[in-house]
Amino acid sequence: MHNFYELDVPCRLLRDDVDISTYPEFKDYHWAVWNDRSDRYMTAEAIEFIKTMGIQDQVWFNNGMQPNHVTVFRGNKDTFMDIHCDRGSSWCINYIWGSSRSEMLWWQPNDDVELTAEMCSVGSEYMKYDADQCTLIEKTACQGPMLVRIDTPHNVINHDADNYRWCLSIRDLSSKWTWEEAVEHFKPWFKSDAY
Ligand SMILES: [Fe+2]
């Protein structure tokens, strides 16, 4: 089983008038993340299509379920994100834009690995793995849309020195699927049967 699968979405996912000037500033963090309304980023066709996949593109927001919201990441230029596991979901559907080259990587931590607590830009704590205590198991430079695993150690590198790496992340935290269940659920929309 892989850690990512490209999806066949038969319409344009990202609006062409996304207004990046209104995005929040997170000066203290090199990798910013926030939740936002999906219609500010996604085309109406894409929002409808995502619903036909059996998800409501919803995230936890202000301690409640917020339908029709997405998580947005802005990775800084020529920067790597710490290796971490997400909480709350084993999977998400990501779509990346803005950066000419970036990668998502998955890691196997050594048996004796010690975790360090770090803070992310939304103020929540996450556990960070050091790369020298992990072995790389898979990576992809795909832009998506793709189903990706997020409950095992992973990170992202933006190799572009001039551009941010934007990532739209569609999550349905109500699904409670394991990674295996998510793969089974989204299989009909996988791009290639080479997997
Ligand atoms: Fe993550």
Question: How much is the pLDDT for 120?
Answer: 59
Residue 137 located in a structural domain: yes
Q: Are 152 and 85 in contact (CB under 8 A)?
A: yes
Q: What pLDDT is attached to residue 64?
A: 78
Residue-level pLDDT at 58: 85
Q: Is 41 domain-assigned?
A: yes
Confidence at residue 37, expressed as pLDDT on a 0 to 100 scale:
92
Give pLDDT, residue 21.
67
194 within some domain: no
**Amino acid sitting at position 180:** E
Residue 195 lies in a domain: no
Distance 154 CA to ligand 1 centre (A): 6
Per-block mean pLDDT, blocks of 10 residues, the chain (195 long): 96 89 63 88 96 88 81 90 86 96 95 69 68 94 96 94 93 91 96 70
4/171 Cα distance (integer angstroms): 15
For residues 177 and 97, give the distance between their C-alpha atoms in angstroms, rounded to a whole number.
Answer: 27
Question: Considering its fold, how many domains does the chain have in total?
Answer: 1
End-to-end CA distance of the chain: give it in Å, rounded.
8
CB 169 within 8 A of CB 70: yes
- Tell how far the Cα of 107 is from the centroid of ligand 1, in angstroms: 12
**Residue 152: inside a domain, yes or no?**
yes
89 domain-assigned: yes
191 C-alpha vs ligand 1 centroid, how far in Å? Answer: 23
How much distance in Å is there from the Cα of 39 to the middle of ligand 1?
22
Could you tell me the two tokens for 118?
């770090």
Looking at the chain, how many residues does it have? Answer: 195
Phi, psi at 52, each rounded to 5°? -70, -15
CATH classification of the domain holding 163: 2.60.120
Domain that holds residue 159: 4-18+27-189
Answer whether residue 129 is part of any domain.
yes
Give the distance (Å) from ligand 1 centre to CA of residue 93. Answer: 12
**pLDDT of amino acid 2:** 96
Are 74 and 23 a contacting pair, CB within 8 Å? Answer: yes
Cα gap 50→81, rounded to integer Å: 27
pLDDT of residue 24: 65
